């Protein structure tokens, strides 16, 4: 699958890409429709996955770890990361022609390495709320 890239991309980046694919598979399995992966917003912002859960728009941050000794997923989504995700989501929402009924931020934790048959996947729904000063955009 990644044979071409293995020479040019660091192993931890390959693990992250693999984790995003596992998360996409998990979201599809739960009935969500994937609208985009690795969605770039401007120069510095990126949304790992944008999905639709019925009429609700879902912005998903994926955290991939080799094992559980590297901390919990919400520890990695600190104040600075939440701010960047809210900024990217606000810009994404501003570009939409038809606004969704509601939206939420989810975090998916994938524990394992590429090649693992059954990685551990934890889906944290409504992991955090949109920052207030970005709510005016929506």
Alpha-carbon torsion (82, 87, 88, 93), positive or negative? positive
**Band (18; pLDDT cuts 50, 70, 90):** very high
Q: What CATH fold (topology level) applies to the domain 11-134?
A: Trna Endonuclease; Chain: A, domain 1 (3.40.1350)
What pLDDT was estimated at residue 130? 93
Q: Over the stretch 55-104, which tens digit does the pLDDT of each residue have?
A: 899 999 999 988 877 677 677 788 999 999 999 999 999 999 988 889 99
Domain residue limits, the chain: 11-134
**Band (24; pLDDT cuts 50, 70, 90):** very high
Segment 49-53 mean pLDDT:
97
**Average model confidence (pLDDT) across the chain:** 87
**Band (49; pLDDT cuts 50, 70, 90):** very high
Burial class (CB in 10 A: 0-12, 13-18, 19+), 4: exposed
What pLDDT was estimated at residue 76? 76
**Band (125; pLDDT cuts 50, 70, 90):** very high
Segment 46-53 mean pLDDT:
96
HSE-CB of 61 using CA atoms within 13 angstroms: 25
More confident residue, 34 or 64: 34
Segment 115-122 long-range contacts (CB within 8 Å, at least 24 positions apart): 119/19, 119/22, 121/22, 121/23, 121/26, 122/73
What pLDDT was estimated at residue 129? 94
What pLDDT was estimated at residue 11? 65
Q: How far apart are CA 20 and CA 23, in angstroms?
A: 5
């Amino acid at each position: 699958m990644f044979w071409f890239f293995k020479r040019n991309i660091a192993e931890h980046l390959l693990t992250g890409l693999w984790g995003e694919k596992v998360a996409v598979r998990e979201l599809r399995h739960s009935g969500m429709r994937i609208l985009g992966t690795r969605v770039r917003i401007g120069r510095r912002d990126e949304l790992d996955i944008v999905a639709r859960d019925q009429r609700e728009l879902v912005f998903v941050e994926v955290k991939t770890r080799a094992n559980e000794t590297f901390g919990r997923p919400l520890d990695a989504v600190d104040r600075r990361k939440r701010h960047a995700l809210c900024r990217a989501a606000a810009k994404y929402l501003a570009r939409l022609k038809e606004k969704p009924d509601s939206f939420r931020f989810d975090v998916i934790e994938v524990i394992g390495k590429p090649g693992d048959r059954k990685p551990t996947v934890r889906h944290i729904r409504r992991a955090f709320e949109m920052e207030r000063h970005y709510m005016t955009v929506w």
